[in-house]
Structure formats: C-alpha cells, structure tokens
Structure 1
Amino acid sequence: MTTTTTRGRRAGALTWVLRLIGAVLLAVMGWLHLDLWSDGYRTIDVIGPAFMLDAIAGFGLAVLLLVAPRRWLWLAAALGALTALGTLAALLLSTTVGLFGFVESTAAPLWWETFWVELAAVVVLAVLAVDARRRPA
C-alpha cells in the first residue's frame, strides 16, 4: 500500500512539474509573439494579426493548463502542444519557402529563442497530454 501511495504521489508531482514547465513555455511563447508584434510585425499583412492571436493563445493556454481539472488536463495539454506545433511549423515555413508572402531569416531577432521554446513546448505538452490521458482522474 505504501509503494502504491508513494508511486501515486510521484506521478502527481511529475504531472505538476510538467504542467508548470508547459505553462511557462506557453507564456514565453506568447510573450515572444507579443514582443515581435510590438516591434513591427503588427504591420505585416496576415502575419501581424496571427502574431497577436499567438500571443493571446499562448497566455490563455498557459492559464488553462494550470487551472484545468485533472480529467480535462490531457485536452488542455494537447491544445497547447498543437498550438506550439502550429507556430513552430509556421516559423519553419516562413524561414524556408515563405508564408503569406513573408520570408523570415534565422538571423531575425528572437528566431532561435522562438524555435527552441516552441520545440520544447511541443515535447513537454505532448508528453503531458499522453501521460494525463493514460492516468485516470
């Protein structure tokens, strides 16, 4: 009985660590998009509004990840992972072939920071989504 209780506590602690790391990554992702939006990306057709939506989504999903009840945690984590994956894909597309007529460079401000934050968010949130879905509430 003690082993089961200890294992359950460890699993619960790991879930909270993943929640916190995921929320921080989503908030940083939101901040990066908001910062770039305010630095001039807001004037770029389609890209500007998308950056504002990404900022709002990043902050909103970070909060959702922290307040979601256990039974809905998998969904909040999956939404966060999909959002991060979408922004990462858009970043890579804009750097290679362009996106909506906009071509980015890896030398652009915050490009590498954005890449690593979004990649980490995809990994952490995907792990959390799978883990939360497997473990009953």
Structure 2
Amino acid sequence: MSRPRPAVPGPLLVAGRVAGAALLGATAGIHLYLWDAGYGSIPWIGPLFLLQAIAATFVGIAVLAAPARWLPLAAGLGALLQLGTLGGLVLSVRVGLLGFHESSEATLFWPSVWVEAVGAAVLVCVAVVRARERTLRRTGRGPVRTG
C-alpha cells in the first residue's frame, strides 16, 4: 500500500511567490532608476526601459495576487519577462541592441544580471511546482495535504 505524498508545503510556495514578485520588483526598480538617470533619453531604449518597469510591476502583482489555478501562468510570464530582459542586456553588451551598446562595467550591470537570472529561476520553479501539483491532483495520483 502506498502512502500519499505530501504536497509542497504552503509556506514554501508562498515564499516562492513573494521572492519571485520581489525580484520582479527589483528589476522594475533598476529599470526605472536607469530610465530616470539618463537612459530615458536614448531612442528606443528609454521607452523600453519604462515599459519593462511597468510590465514587471504588474506581473509582480499578478504573481502575488493570482489564484492558485492561474499561478503557473503568472509565474511563467514573470520568468519570460526576466529572461527576455536578461537576453536584451546580454545582446546590448555583445552586439548592441537597437543601436545601443552597453558595457559590462556599467554600474548596475551585474546586479541586473543576478536579479533577472535568479528571478527567472525562482519563477520557473513556482510555475512548474504549482502546475505539477495541480496535474497530480486532477489525475488522482497525489499530492495530498496531510494534517
């Protein structure tokens, strides 16, 4: 007779949601700061920095507020936003992006890289864990909460 497997503890999933939303907020803050510090005047890049800050803020709120059934979608969108932002940063350093070339020596280059990479990883974990948990419940193969 097999024992039911416990679900991911609720506090752990909540911690993932909060961490993912906080990292989206951090990337939004970095981009808003840079937009205000002069990047806002760069054609194409300035408006994209502002758009990224707004999008990251809204997606971060969605990660926190989404009901459980929509959490994989919200977290997945957050991960894609973080990965896209990181990809844009890497492109701007390597080959340039929309006529703009960034330097890896820029003040917030490494904090941006870490925030976006860790944020993407956390949000992917939240999305996958929640989606898998939902699938297992639907098929009747667990996980079930105990106690």
Q: Determine if the TM-score, normalized by the shorter chain, exceeds 0.5.
A: yes
Query: Which of 3, 15, 18 is matched with 2:16 structurally?
Result: 18
Residue 106 of structure 1 is matched in structure 2 by: 104
CA distance in 2, matches of 1:98, 1:12: 43
- Alignment match, 2:84: 86
| 1:48 aligned residue | 46
More relative contact order, 1 or 2 (CA 8 Å, 6+ apart): 2
Q: Secondary structure at the match of 2:9?
A: helix
Which contiguous aligned blocks of 4+ residues in structure 1 show a shift greater than 2 angstroms? none
Per the alignment, residue 69 of structure 1 pairs with 67
TM-score for the superposition, normalised by structure 2: 0.86
Higher relative helix content: 1
SS at match of 2:110: helix
Q: Which residue of 1 aligns with 2:30?
A: 32
Counterpart of 2:46 in 1: which secondary structure? helix
Instruction: List gaps (5 residues or longer) in structure 1.
Output: none
Query: SS of the counterpart of 2:96?
Result: coil
Identity %: 45
Distance 1:40 1:58 in 2: 20
Q: Bigger radius of gyration, 1 or 2?
A: 2
1:72-126: CA deviation from partner (whole Å, max 9, x where unpaired): 0000000000000000000000000000010000111211100100000110011
The DSSP-based 3-state class of the residue aligned with 1:135 is helix
Q: Give the whole-Å Cα distance in 1 for the aligned partners of 2:93 and 2:87.
A: 10
Query: Matched residues in 2 for 1:56 and 1:79: separation?
Result: 14
Q: How many residues align?
A: 133
Structure 2 unaligned spans of 5+:
138-147
Map of 1:124 onto structure 2:
122
1:44-94 CA-partner distances (Å, limit 9, x unpaired): 111000000110011111111110000000000000000000000000000
